[in-house]
A and B are shown apart, each in its own frame.
Chain A
Amino acid sequence: MSRQNERTAKAPAGGALDERRRILEEAVERGHQELLGRIGFYLWRFGGAAGREGIIERAREVLQDTFVTALGILDRYDPTGSAILWLLNVSVIVVKRKAREQGRERRRLTLVADSEQARRAIGDGRVADISETELFDALLRPHAGAPSSQSPTAEELLSLVEGDDRELLRLYYLEGLNGEELAAKFGVSNGAVHQRLSRARNKVRLAYSGEGD
């Protein structure tokens, strides 16, 4: 929902809005359980909900507000994008609004190492000095060699992490196992594999920049 797209796009005609509404209604009908669960997760993680009962009730409220809000801004929904992701975007806006209304501060946890550098890096939106291109080029093309003498190799990057993180990255990038194969090997879900891969990559970034020390 980029603001530039909103400014340049013409307002859709009534029929187009009806179609968008229908798509969102179908998405809610099919995915209401998933939406409730994911909104509950966001509230647990960011909204300071204390117990399970608190989450359930608040998730219902957020879901109701999400429906109302989403239907009020139908012109911003592009049907070529995922309806569920759009609704989750709206739900996060609702969660933030409710958090502001309740005057809660965002909880912030540090990643990897409890360091001021890590917090600054996250706040700046910059994770590490290694560029995204260098990181992925090294991991996705491990046998191509480093493109320059300053760029790290896949082995160098893997050496920055230990244990399961290193093994996971090695199996995925160097051995070529896919998500399902890794899930079977480690006895976890596909989602857990991708979650752990992301965490491992983030650890590599921090370690490479020296900010995880």
Chain B
Amino acid sequence: MQKDRDMERIKARELLLDRYVLAVDSGDLEGMTAALAAAYEASREDPEIERLIAEIDQAYREEMGLTPLEADARLVRELLRRCVPSAFETHVQLQRPLTVGDVASRLLAQGRVRPGDEEANRALLGNTTLLPNPVTAPMVRKLAADLGAGGSDLYWRSFRDEALTMGISRSHDQAQLAARERRARRRPRQDDKKKHD
């Protein structure tokens, strides 16, 4: 019975791979999309699928002379920092005051920038101006005027909301990080104590 189940799993897996390879070989983007979606669904039950598709993609890249782009990975990490800063926060970064660029990046990452405000938000990415303290509505209006930035009233209301949220979240993260560090410092002393007991 188990052998039959294994056979069925292998059959389904190979069929999926064949459809993926067929679509890529034939330049069929729709077919490849469907096969990739099927691979994602299948990966819930068969974790091997992810590895096999990754290996096949690697084979294609080698075949087409698209070797790994290590140098570009550094640029991607920088991209990540702008769009998903929470993935990279360290103790030093948590202590750093929030900037206009931080908030603009977060709004972009959350998909909260309306089409008409995209240009205004893009202009603020990477801006190192510190946020006002406190982040009141009049202070944010003054900030927008000082920066000469565009953007609708709704955009700047979202900006202020996100600035407040990030401020609260950062305080929370700082407290958690401090607690983790205290625990880490205590652990060796506790281990030493156990050794000598």
Residue positions of A touching B, CB distance < 8 A: 1-2, 25-26, 28-29, 32-38, 40-42, 44-46, 52, 55-56, 59-60, 63-64, 67-69, 71-72, 78, 80-82, 84-86, 88-89, 92-93, 95-96, 99, 106-111, 122, 125, 127, 132-133, 136, 140-141, 188-192, 194-195, 197-199, 201-202
Which residues on the A side are within 8 Å of B88 (C-beta)?
A: 29
> What would be 6 A-B contacts, judged by CB atoms less than 8 Å apart?
A1-B40, A28-B84, A32-B76, A63-B76, A85-B49, A122-B28
A34 to B49, CA, bound (A): 16
- Whole-angstrom distance from the CB of A198 to the nearest CB of chain B? 4
Identity of the chain A residue whose Cβ is nearest the Cβ of B67 in the assembled complex: A37
Given contacts A36-B69, A132-B15, A199-B25, whether A140 and B10 have CB atoms under 8 Å apart is yes
B44 part of interface (Cβ distance < 8 Å): yes
- Whole-angstrom distance from the CB of A18 to the nearest CB of chain B? 10
A197 to B61, CA, bound (A): 17
Which residues on the A side are within 8 Å of B32 (C-beta)?
A: 42, 46, 92
A111 touches B76 (CB 8 A): no
B27 touches A109 (CB 8 A): yes
Residue positions of B touching A, CB distance < 8 A: 7, 10-11, 14-15, 17-18, 20-22, 24-33, 36-37, 39-41, 43-44, 47, 49-50, 52-64, 66, 68-70, 72-73, 75-77, 79-80, 83-84, 86-88, 108-111
- Whole-angstrom distance from the CB of B67 to the nearest CB of chain A? 8
- Whole-angstrom distance from the CB of A186 to the nearest CB of chain B? 12
Which residues on the A side are within 8 Å of B54 (C-beta)?
A: 34, 38, 84, 191
Among A42, A52, A108, the residue within 8 A (CB) of B26 is A108
- Whole-angstrom distance from the CB of A77 to the nearest CB of chain B? 9
A36 touches B60 (CB 8 A): no
Which residues on the A side are within 8 Å of B28 (C-beta)?
A: 106, 108, 122
B59 touches A85 (CB 8 A): no
Interface centre among B57, B63, B110 (most CB of A within 10 A): B57
A192 touches B62 (CB 8 A): yes
B87 touches A96 (CB 8 A): no
B7 touches A127 (CB 8 A): no
A41 to B29, CA, bound (A): 12
Given contacts A41-B61, A68-B111, whether A136 and B11 have CB atoms under 8 Å apart is yes
Identity of the chain B residue whose Cβ is nearest the Cβ of A125 in the assembled complex: B31
Given contacts A46-B32, A85-B53, whether A64 and B18 have CB atoms under 8 Å apart is no
Given contacts A28-B84, A33-B69, A140-B7, whether A81 and B41 have CB atoms under 8 Å apart is yes
B26 touches A45 (CB 8 A): no
Identity of the chain B residue whose Cβ is nearest the Cβ of A1 in the assembled complex: B37
